[in-house]
Amino acid sequence: MTGRFAGRVAIITGGGKGIGAGCATVFCQEGGRVAILDRDVLAGELTAERLTAAGPGMAVSFPCDICDSETFCRIIDDVAVRWGRIDCLINNAGIHPPATTIDDTSLEMVEQVMRVNYLSTFAGAKFAVPHLRKTKGTIVNISSMTAVLGQDRSSAYASSKAAQVGLTKSLAIELGPQGIRVNAILPSNIDTPLMHEWAATLDDPQSALARVAALQVFGRMGTPEEIGRIALFLATEDSSFITGQAIEAEGGASLDY
């Protein structure tokens, strides 16, 4: 089989929809085998079926809530047994609570956001590293531009995304000598179900989406596949001298202040 990821295996959390599905699409198009770990069982299965039918790679859905660390760890080990290797882990699954002031943000909410967005990223890396040592593989963490820019009434979310960047840099130092590269992608605004769910919480969703699209210099949001192509670059030898980086995939949104 040909393709830039042919013969290799990726695990993608939250691969059923949005950015995760965009990554899965690109990795399958490049001949890879992809394990989609998603708590939305139907979305995971539909995406896996669609990608396998399109080829040349294939995808299999593994129902998994990544907050259930025992199941998360078992599935990572199962994938390694099933396909004999793991070359890349994409820690993508994440949540964004509705905009909330610090006064109205409960500590339980902070804990939940940190658990999904940060602790599961840590757990995924911890569980995958024994397998990645064998392939000299890579970890790609999907963070956010909010990690460096902040976001109004989103302090729990933005700090969970900043924590992913700190983890990325520290693991890059620790694991680099063992041949494992670790990088993060920081998207600005990407057209995904999460984006539409966020807009739906506002008074005028359509104008909110138009406002968000206008933030990028291209006047549009990014697509999940555009993030997937950056993830593929970070997962292959094309980026062999890059580790510990927070790649700002933001369509120029932070320029011209």
What amino acid positions are annotated as catalytic residues? Answer: 157
- Beta strand pairing call for 246-249 and 181-187: parallel
> Per CB under 6 A, does 40 bind ligand NAD?
yes
Contacting residue, 29, 61, 144, 243, with ligand NAD by CB under 6 A: 144
Residue nearer to ligand NAD on the CB measure, 29 or 189 = 189
Contacting residue, 31, 137, 187, 228, with ligand NAD by CB under 6 A: 187
Q: Least distance from C-beta 208 to ligand NAD, angstroms?
A: 13
> Per CB under 6 A, does 124 bind ligand NAD?
no
In eight-state DSSP terms, residue 115 is I
> Per CB under 6 A, does 57 bind ligand NAD?
no
The string over 39-51, giving b where at least 16 C-beta atoms fall within 10 Å of a residue's C-beta and e elsewhere, is bbeebbbebbeeb
Name the burial class of residue 95, with classes exposed (0-12), middle (13-18) and buried (19+) by CB atoms within 10 angstroms of its CB. middle
Q: ∠ CA(117), CA(120), CA(125), 5° rounding?
A: 120
Question: How many residues interact with ligand NAD (rule CB under 6 A)?
Answer: 30
Stretch in the footprint of ligand NAD (CB under 6 A) among 54-62, 64-72, 106-114, 129-137: 64-72
> Per CB under 6 A, does 18 bind ligand NAD?
yes
Q: What gap in Å lies between CA 28 and CA 51, rounded to an integer?
A: 7
> Per CB under 6 A, does 194 bind ligand NAD?
yes
> Per CB under 6 A, does 246 bind ligand NAD?
no
Amino acid at 60: V
Residue nearer to ligand NAD on the CB measure, 31 or 251 = 251
Q: What gap in Å lies between CA 212 and CA 189, rounded to an integer?
A: 7
> Per CB under 6 A, does 228 bind ligand NAD?
no
What 3-state class would DSSP assign to 12? strand
> Per CB under 6 A, does 189 bind ligand NAD?
yes
Residues that bind ligand NAD (CB under 6 A): 13-14, 16-20, 38-40, 43, 64-67, 92-96, 116, 142, 144, 187, 189-190, 192-195
